[in-house]
Structure 1
Amino acid sequence: MALTLDHIAGHPALHRCVRAQAQALIQTYETNPRLASIFATQQRWLMAHIGLALHFRREPDDYRKQLTAARFIDVIRENSVASRNTADAFLKEMLHYNFIEHLSAAQDGRIRPIQPTVNTLDTLAGWMMAHLHTLDSLDGANRLATFLEQPDALARMQPLVADGLISSSPVREPKQTFSLFTWLNNGGVVMDWLISGVDPDHAGLAAIPTGVVSIGDFAKWLKLSRTHLARKLRDAEDLGSVGWLGQRGNSVMWVSGDFYREYMTAQAVKLAIIDAAFVEAFDSPAGS
């Protein structure tokens, strides 16, 4: 039986486990920032999951049911994730950076199937494994080992995860501060970095210190415009979600207890979706 949202959200080890998860995701970002950035804004993250689900659910022997630009854009619009132009631009960017590739010509020359490259699938597998490790850390089960033992584990799990994400109101309609960052380029990485520097023992504070001490250094690491990042942080400051222990931009940044809890709740929602997908994919309790 999958762990429920309430069970995950109330688990005493959640904060430490999610901090370790954030650190693991940051390592992925540092290995390949451009590829990891696919998952770094909510809209791109959802579009990527939809495209991957279409890929894994394709019927290789039926060229009409392959992943194509037209099918991708149709599903994006059906789920109100993005406009046609945004979805088309996303695909073109993925092709430009070789995150996806065209397959050889199909029987019907008008259809140009596409598929994710090996590097893209490896990054997705790393993302999935980081979350399975977190779940295992919460209950001592062996999801990650099961995942690694099954050659088709990613193909079995990912479409179910995508279904869960797309149909989740908390995912699609995040809280105010979390939403502010989900629309920032690399906003997911910004939040992961902030939380990765938080001592879980400080979780009960109203202003929780992070490891960020300079907007300039933070922006440089993220490969973001300092001005753009500073503007978003100012918006978050206006909400009372972040602040500085000393001089703004040149002292330790803090996050509010409310923002910290928003982040933890969002992670619990995502972990519950992933665990439900795991149980359905392997048709067995997580620990068996």
Structure 2
Amino acid sequence: MPLSAAEIVRHPAALRSVQEQSRALIHVYETTPRLAAVFATQQRWLLAHVGLALHFRRDPNDRRTEMTMARFIEVVRRNSVASRNTAEAFVKEMLRYNIAEYISASGDGRAHPMRVTEGTIETFTGWIHAHLRTLDRIDGGNRLTTFLDRPGMLSRLQPLIADGLLASEGVREPGRTFSLFIWLNNGGIVMDWLMSGIDPEDVHLDRIPTSVISVSEFAHWLKLSRTHLARKLNDGEALGSIGWVGQRGHSVMWVSRQFFDEYMAVQTSKLAVVDLAFEGSLSQADES
């Protein structure tokens, strides 16, 4: 049976496992910053999953299933992910940076078939590995081994993950501080960095120390405007969600227990989606 978000968050290994996952995703950001920028905000992250799902659901023998600008926009709008203009701009950016490509040299505007490039799929597979590894750490399962033993599984698994993420209230309607950061470029990485430095022994505290001290160094590493990041941190501070143990810039930052709980709620909701999709993709394979 797939794990539920409630089961995951209650597990003693949940935090350490999620922290390891966060470090793995931070590594992806460090090694492929251009591609990682695709997932820079939650909206872009969902747009990327929509595109990947359309790519994997293509039937080479049925042109009606091709990924086109028109089909992408239709799915995005149907699921209230973004406006038409935002969706179109996203696709154009993906094409510009070779994250996606046209299948043929010529085509008819929004009906021109596209596909995700191999390099993009290879990097995204690392995202899958990280989440399956986390689930295995929590319950001692063998999802990652199963996935690695089935080369064709990604094409079944990712679309089910996308469906689950789009339908997940826990993912799409997070708490107020988490929501504050998901609209910041690389906001997910900001939160991963904050939470990955927490000592699990401190999570019972109202103010949980992190390993972050310097906002300037933090912003430089993330290639963010220091002013923009500082403004978001100030907003978080006004909510009582973050602060400094001592003098700002000369002591470690803390996150509130509520912010920590919001972060874990989203992470465990996402993991539950992945686990349910994993189970579903195995069932599809057994039926085929």
Would you say 1:43 and 2:43 are equivalent positions? yes
Give 1:157-172 correspondences, 5 Å limit: 157-172=157-172
SS class of match (1:254): strand
Q: Deviations over 1:104-156 (max 9, x none)?
A: 158x7563111111111012110011000000001111000001111111111
Partner residue in 1 for 2:247: 247
Please give the alpha-carbon distance, in whole angstroms, between the structure 2 residues aligned to 1:73 and 1:144: 33
**Aligned-pair RMSD on alpha carbons?**
1.3
Q: Percent identity among equivalent residues?
A: 60
* Per-residue Cα deviation, 1:212-233 (whole angstroms, up to 9, x for no partner): 1100000000000000000000
SS of aligned partner of 2:205: coil
Distance 2:105 2:223 in 1: 37
Confirm or deny: 8 A CA contact 1:105 1:112 kept in the other structure: no
Which residue does the alignment assign to 1:185? 185
Number of equivalenced pairs:
283
SS of 1:138's equivalent? helix
1:58 Cα deviation after fit? 1.1
C-alpha distance in 1 between matches for 2:27 and 2:34: 13
Structure 1, unaligned runs of 5 or more: none
5 Å-filtered alignment, 1:72-83, equals 72-83=72-83
Higher mean C-alpha displacement, 217-226 vs 194-203: 194-203
Q: Which residue of 2 aligns with 1:98?
A: 98
Partner residue, 1:127: 127
Distance 2:104 2:192 in 1: 39
Q: Secondary structure at the match of 2:211?
A: coil
> Unpaired runs of 5+ in structure 2?
none
Structure 1 Cα separation of the partners of residues 60 and 173 of structure 2: 35
- The corresponding residue for 1:270 is 270
Question: 1: distance between equivalents of 2:65 and 2:185?
Answer: 32
The question of whether the paired residues in 2 share the 8 Å contact of 1:215 and 1:250 is answered with: no
Secondary structure of the residue aligned to 2:250 is: coil
Aligned to 2:21: 21
| C-alpha distance in 1 between matches for 2:26 and 2:177 | 20
Counterparts of 1:191 and 1:133, CA distance in 2: 20
Secondary structure of the 1:151 match is coil
Taking the aligned partners of 1:13 and 1:187, their CA distance within structure 2 comes to: 25
Asked if the contact 2:170–2:265 (Cα under 8 Å) also holds between the matched residues in 1, the reply is no
CA distance in 2, matches of 1:68, 1:254: 45
How far off is 1:236 after superposition?
Answer: 0.4
**Residue type at the aligned position of 2:100:** I
